[in-house]
Amino acid sequence: MEEEKAVIRTENLNLYYGEKHALIDIEISIHPNKVTALIGPSGCGKSTLIRCFNRMNDLVNDCRIEGKVIFNEEDIYDVDLDPVLLRKRIGMVFQRPNPFPKSIYENVAYGPRVHGIRDRAVLDEIVEKSLKLAALWDEVSDRLHDSAMGLSGGQQQRLCIARSLAVEPDVILMDEPCSALDPIATAKIEKLIGELKERYTVIIVTHSMQQAARVSDYTGFMYIGKLIEFGKTPQIFESPAEELTNNYITGRFG
Amino acid sequence: MTKTGFFSKQSESASGIISRQKGRITDSIIGAVWFFTAVFAVFTVLFILVFLLRDGLPVFSEIRPADFLFGEVWNPGGAEPSYGILPLITGTLLVTIGAMVIATPLGIGSAIFISELAGPRLKAFVKPAFEMLAGIPSVVYGFFGLIVLTNQLRIRLDVPSGESWLAGSILLGIMALPTIISVSEDAISAVPREFREGSLALGATRWQTISQVLVPSALSGITAALILGMGRAIGETMAVMMVTGNAAVIPEPIYNVLSPVRTLTGTLGIEMGEVATGSTHYHALFGLAVALLVITLIINLSAMAVIQRLKGEKRSSFRISERYRDYIIKGLYGVVFLLLFLATDIITALAVLLLAAAAIYIRRHLSPGVLQKGAFGLIWASAGMVLLSLAVILYDIIIHGYPALTPEFLTSSPSGLGREGGIFPAIIGTLYLVAGSILFALPIGMGAAIYLREYTRENTATRIIRTGVDLLGGTPSIVFGLFGFAFLVLYLNLGVSMLAGQITLGLMILPIIIRTTEESLKNVPDSMREGSLALGATRWQTVRNVVLPPALPGIITGAILSIGRAAGETAPILFTAVVFSRRFLPDSVFEPVTALPYHLFILSTNVPGSETNQYGTALVLLILVASIYLAAVILRSHFQKKAAW
């Protein structure tokens, strides 16, 4: 394996919601500048897993985590580690587009601002660059100061991607980013994901196997809290090693 | 809200294949009954307005409107009576502004504390404690203010009397807190979780998330909370009347917080009982009540407008472009500084400016982590201060009231003007008044809510009815008292009687009952109604058998809450139902009664040397009202756990 090259790597990761054992002995290595997809039936723990990578599970009340998540040779669950700084380097795009009720400009500038950038010219530049990277600039450049709530669902989701790009993360986590979007908007996001991997590492949770096959380089199949199989995407879809994986991708359950 | 009024004409089967006329006729009769109950609330508002105007307008035949509104002397008892309400309006505004200065930071801080900082356990304790503040009757606040607060102010500030603008503002600030806290907390908690996560996922700290995403998103709700709290402060009578000194003067200089003031409500409370019916003074008081009603109407309507905007703002774009907003904010700072400079002197103004600059400097140069610690410290402190005020009030009344609580005190009649003896007639009188008011208001309120929710769709009529209900809810209790006096006592010739008091209190709690009933009906899912209708049940059968049973706990909770409200109120019964020092129980509803809040009011303002019995009465009233509220809270949480659709 190429362990030393991994951006994020878990060791014996277990997660409990109260009594419920939601993630069981997860061992996974995420490769830099690649798109990694996590697939599996509803409730299998794929969203829970990526929310471990930026410690969003900290916000859930009786959630307990054992084991390690290593990000660039640092254990992110180390007591000294500041989750705020971690989240600056590992961005996240959510299932439903969640722009703030501010203008388009302010949405993108929010991240840089909270990290201390105040110079208007610098902010202008970051906003433009991020919106261009998220392939949204052409559609909104003439109405940057309109409310983001007026954008279409697909535009809102690309705005959320631009917003996370604006803080210049190393990794972008995407939690079913297209589940609330129509096919055309989905196609745009998927194209964007392909472009993003040149600069970023992308981890995407998806419900759609076709989407995983289209956009990802690596795929992990999860089932009831366990990572059943992980490998290069073509290999997972063409010759899975596990019976369960095969059943799932051939549509026998899930 | 588009789903309101699930039933409509279209959903009725119009085919007439099966004629079941009997059921249909009953159904429309019942519907008509509910309609009339719903219209009742609107008519009440109109009636109140008409009767106030009827007795208030004649004042202008004797005094020029300009002299009335802008006259600087209010002295109806003088050799040359003068009826200028400017000092009273000024008093009301100053006390309210002071209350808001105190309540705004504490209220918003406490709301942020409950919704964002407190863990589940702490929240389970703190939230009911904050709600408890709303359960303390206003006369008990006034009593505490009179005995403890004004005294402390007098000693600590070394002034001749503590009865002042400041005392009124502190007390009203505390009284406005529960409204501000609960409405702003709802608004902050209602900000979608996605916003929170979205901000945190970008590496913002919790404080950055709160201050830059949550609070701005909840701003309309918080504004509404502040306006409602302000309405509460403006409409309050008893507490304010007991601690502000009631001198009808404009403070000199205007920011002298230790000056006594007199409010519109206080004037009504003091003078209405002694005025000769039909005199100029009498009409002037009604004119004053109209002024008060107009002020509260404006406040309530603007709160409603803000809330309305809140509902519709999801898709609307920004009114003011953010670029201009920067300039506007800077301009506002300039104006504030200028005002400060004009009102005080150059030294103070410069000092404030320096402080502001320092604050901005600190904000820019401290790390987000340190800033968060400071902000969270302040939020904890504000929640702590609110809890502390509650604790001090409760402690004082329990410690001093407990010795008075003997079996004789509870079961005997007062003697020696209430200095000796007990409060039995007052307890029974309160129970009679409350029972009568709920018997009057519950059927009407439930009917109105059932009509609004089950028998119609949202249209102009329901909007008018809802507005009427909301306005009724925001009407100051003293205005109800005046209306009861003018309409029930004089016009209907009921005299000062238990019945007049019961109806007046009933009108006052009507909006609470309508609102809580509607809320519980709303929580019953439409699928249940559809299930029943699909079986061929009529509307009324569906409402009675399917909708009402699961909604009942919520309705009962609302009824209990309004019982608590009615039990603690003084102003509405002041001129309609009560007489002091009544030793016997009434034989019929046409006789006057005495009641706990009124008894406490008279003892503490007019009967020196009755301290023990004052505290005893306050404690009994507090226990009565608090246990009613407690019952409602327990019932609510019990059924909230059970209700899982």
Q: How far apart are CA A27 and CA A48, in angstroms?
A: 14
Nearest CA to B600 out of B585, B583, B617 is that of: B617
| B507/B634: higher pLDDT | B507
Tell me what pLDDT residue A220 has: 94
Q: How far apart are CA A125 and CA A132, in angstroms?
A: 11
Q: How far apart are CA B564 and CA B560, in angstroms?
A: 6
Give the pLDDT confidence of B548-594 residue by residue, as tens digits: 888 888 888 888 888 988 998 899 998 888 887 666 777 778 888 88
Closest residue in A to B364 (Cα–Cα): A116
A135-141 long-range contacts, Cβ below 8 Å, gap at least 24?
A135/A188, A135/A191, A135/A192, A135/A195, A136/A162, A140/A104
Q: What's the full length of chain B, in residues?
A: 645
Give the torsion through C-alpha atoms of A214, A229, A172, A183, to 10 deg: 30
- The complex's ipTM works out to 0.82
Give the pLDDT confidence of A126-162 residue by residue, as tens digits: 999 999 988 899 999 999 988 888 899 999 999 999 9
Pairing status of strand A35-39 against strand A218-223: parallel
Question: Is residue B506 very low, low, confident or very high in pLDDT (cuts 50, 70, 90)?
Answer: very high
In sequence order, what are the beta bridge partners of A232?
A218
Residue that is written with structure tokens 């990694």 in the block: A36
Question: Is residue B435 very low, low, confident or very high in pLDDT (cuts 50, 70, 90)?
Answer: very high
- For chain B, give the percent of residues with pLDDT over 90: 37
For residue B640, what is the enclosing H or E element? helix B611-642
Note whether A89 contacts B208, CB cutoff 8 Å: no
Question: Is residue B79 very low, low, confident or very high in pLDDT (cuts 50, 70, 90)?
Answer: confident
Tell me what pLDDT residue B592 has: 87
Tell me what pLDDT residue B324 has: 67
Distance from CA of B59 to the nearest CA of A (A): 51
Note whether B217 contacts A101, CB cutoff 8 Å: yes
Give the pLDDT confidence of B137-190 residue by residue, as tens digits: 999 999 999 999 999 999 998 888 889 999 999 999 999 999 999 999 988 998
Tell me what pLDDT residue B325 has: 66
Give the pLDDT confidence of B362-419 residue by residue, as tens digits: 777 778 888 899 999 999 999 999 999 999 999 999 999 999 888 888 888 888 777 8
Give the pLDDT confidence of B11-57 residue by residue, as tens digits: 444 444 555 555 567 778 888 888 888 888 788 888 888 888 999 88
Cβ atoms B90, B250 nearer than 8 A:
yes
Tell me what pLDDT residue B314 has: 46
Q: Which residues of A touch B314 (CB under 8 A)?
A: 149
Give me the phi and psi of B593, to 5 degrees please.
Answer: -130, 180
Q: Which residues of B touch A59 (CB under 8 A)?
A: 196-197, 200
Q: Is B370 on the interface with A (CB under 8 A)?
A: no
> Amino acid letter at B196?
R
Give the pLDDT confidence of B294-330 residue by residue, as tens digits: 888 888 888 888 777 766 554 444 444 555 666 777 7
Tell me what pLDDT residue B81 has: 87
Tell me what pLDDT residue B311 has: 62
Query: Of the candidates B202, B208, B316, which has its C-beta nearest A164's C-beta?
Result: B202
Note whether B203 contacts A110, CB cutoff 8 Å: no
Pairing status of strand A90-93 against strand A171-175: parallel
Q: Is the pLDDT of residue A196 over 50?
A: yes
Note whether A84 contacts B315, CB cutoff 8 Å: no
Mean pLDDT of A2-29: 86
Residue A138 gets the label, from left (phi > 0), alpha (psi -120 to 50) or beta, of alpha
Tell me what pLDDT residue B10 has: 45
Give the pLDDT confidence of A164-188 residue by residue, as tens digits: 999 999 999 999 998 888 888 899 8
Note whether B314 contacts A149, CB cutoff 8 Å: yes
Distance from CA of B157 to the nearest CA of A (A): 44
Q: Which residues of B touch A61 (CB under 8 A)?
A: 120
Q: Which residues of B touch A82 (CB under 8 A)?
A: 369
End-to-end CA distance of chain A: 30
> Which site among B202, B211, B367, B373 would you substitute to test the A interface, given the most A Cβ atoms closer than 10 Å to its Cβ?
B202
Question: Is residue B640 very low, low, confident or very high in pLDDT (cuts 50, 70, 90)?
Answer: low
Q: Which residues of A touch B322 (CB under 8 A)?
A: 102-103, 105-106, 145
Residue B641 CB-density burial (10 A; 0-12 exposed, 13-18 middle, 19+ buried): exposed
- For chain A, give the percent of residues with pLDDT over 70: 98
Mean pLDDT of B240-254: 88
Q: Which residues of A touch B123 (CB under 8 A)?
A: none
